[in-house]
């Protein structure tokens, strides 16, 4: 049976006059994802995008998997489209959900009639279709609260649709509708999650990674690149900037007090990130920081970091426990890459006793002991850029 996919819009439906531009952006994102899988017809109607595969060899499981990672879609249904006729509806339900019904003990019919011209009302559709299915599958009984199979029948303007329970979509709003930001991407667990969370709210993410060869290895960089590539499943295309940071770190070590090492390093990371962001018209920075997680993530430390920032710094993991962050990283497929044991430039120069309550004036004075400006310029000139396309 020829299946189509119904994508039910999420928050987009609340967007009033801006709704068309949100829909257009989501459609662009969907087309980009599905293009490698074949040709499709797209029709938008009644807060739903109808996606019809145009050839029989398209792998629908793969299509659904890709769509489940597109922000803006609240729910997805694999369905069969039929004419609005109760005989056709019954025959289709019997065959399309036949195997599931044979293996089930209980079922129910759920009906939604958005085409009010259809002669039967929703409860009548349920009664008629349910009755006919019961005659056909006599081992079944009806359970309206916790059925093994939910035969859903939607009567819409375009036709009638039969499907099982919908699949959860990615939610959020379409990437590209909320501006562009630069994510500071380490090889850890938190920053990919932070990028995912911003993308979920429609932000187009670019990523910046600081490396410190020879203290950090080529393989450590390759790991971060794989993380960025993995993030494209949800975030769409990612421009990836790699900053050579070794000289700056060595000079901090040489000239600044050890206990302030991390905080000064973070201020310089922010400085470099925002200069690049300004050049590329990225209007905010994003980090994976979570308050209290480590010494550089106390509120006092963040005050010192943010003092150098001329643009907003978003920290979507700020109020999350590590366990909550890990749960998301599992879900988005970055966890297994993040836990690979490679060094990060932050960890190779960690002070023995980092100051958890740095005072801004002290940090500024310590940083002023050395003129970092030429090295900042040199680091920016040394940046390499890569584009990661949707996988």
Rounded to a whole number of angstroms, the minimum distance from the CB of residue 306 to ligand ATP is 13
Q: Which of 200, 209, 267, 355 binds ligand ATP (CB under 6 A)?
A: 209
Please say whether the beta carbons of 156 and 46 come within 8 A: yes
CB nearer to ligand ATP: pick between 221 and 369: 221
Residue in the shown chain whose Cβ atom is closest to ligand ATP: 188
Interface with ligand ATP, residue 261, by CB under 6 A? no
**What is the total count of residues that contact ligand ATP (CB under 6 A)?**
20
Instruction: Return the number of the residue (186 or 246) whose C-beta is nearest ligand ATP.
Output: 186
The closest residue (CB) to Mg ion is 188
Place of tokens 């310590």: 366
- The nearer residue to Mg ion, 32 or 223, going by C-beta atoms, is 223
Site for Mg ion in 182-221 (CB under 5 A): 186, 188
Angle, alpha carbons 295-300-306 (nearest 5°): 105
Residue 297 interacting with Mg ion (CB under 5 A): no
Q: Is 346 in the site for ligand ATP (CB under 6 A)?
A: yes
Q: What angle do CA 188, 325, 386 make, to 5 degrees?
A: 40
Q: Which C-beta is closer to ligand ATP: that of 151 or that of 184?
A: 184
- In the bound complex, what is the minimum distance in angstroms from residue 207's beta carbon to ligand ATP? 8
Binding mask 283-312 for ligand ATP (x = CB under 6 A): ----xxx---xx-xx---------------
Query: What is the contact surface with Mg ion in residues (CB under 5 A)?
Result: 186, 188
């Amino acid at each position: 049976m020829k299946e189509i996919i119904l994508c039910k819009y999420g928050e987009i439906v609340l967007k009033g006059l801006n709704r068309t531009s949100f829909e257009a952006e989501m459609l662009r994102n969907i087309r980009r994802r599905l293009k490698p899988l074949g040709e499709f017809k797209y029709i938008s109607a009644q807060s739903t995008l109808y996606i019809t595969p145009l050839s029989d060899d398209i792998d629908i499981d793969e299509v659904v998997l890709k769509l489940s990672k597109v922000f803006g879609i609240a729910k997805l249904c694999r369905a069969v489209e039929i004419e609005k006729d109760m005989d056709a509806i019954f025959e289709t339900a019997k065959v399309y959900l036949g195997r599931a019904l044979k293996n089930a003990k209980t079922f129910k019919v759920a009906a939604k009639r958005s085409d009010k011209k259809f002669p039967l009302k929703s409860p009548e559709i349920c009664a008629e279709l349910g009755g006919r299915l019961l005659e056909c599958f006599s081992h079944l009984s009806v359970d309206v609260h916790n059925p093994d199979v939910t035969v859903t029948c939607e009567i819409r303007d375009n036709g009638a649709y039969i499907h099982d329970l919908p699949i959860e979509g990615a939610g959020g709003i379409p990437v590209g509708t909320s501006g562009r930001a630069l994510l500071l991407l380490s090889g850890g667990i938190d920053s990919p999650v932070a990028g995912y969370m911003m993308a979920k709210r429609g932000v187009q993410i670019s990523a910046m990674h600081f490396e410190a060869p020879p203290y950090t290895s080529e393989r450590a960089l390759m790991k971060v690149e794989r993380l960025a590539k993995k993030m494209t499943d949800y975030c769409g295309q990612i421009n990836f900037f790699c900053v050579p940071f070794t000289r700056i770190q060595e000079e901090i070590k040489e000239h600044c007090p050890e206990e302030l090492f991390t905080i000064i390093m973070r201020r310089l990371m922010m400085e470099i990130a925002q200069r690049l962001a300004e050049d590329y018209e990225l209007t905010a920075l994003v980090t994976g920081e979570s308050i209290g997680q480590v010494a550089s993530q106390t509120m006092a430390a963040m005050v010192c970091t943010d003092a150098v920032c001329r643009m907003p710094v978003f920290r979507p993991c700020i109020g999350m426990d590590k366990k909550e962050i890990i749960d998301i990283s599992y879900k988005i497929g970055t966890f297994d890459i993040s836990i690979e044991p490679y060094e990060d430039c932050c960890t190779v120069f960690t002070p023995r006793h980092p100051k958890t309550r740095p005072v801004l004036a002290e940090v500024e004075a310590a940083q002023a002991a050395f003129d970092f400006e030429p090295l900042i310029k040199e680091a920016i000139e040394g940046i390499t850029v890569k584009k990661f396309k949707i996988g």
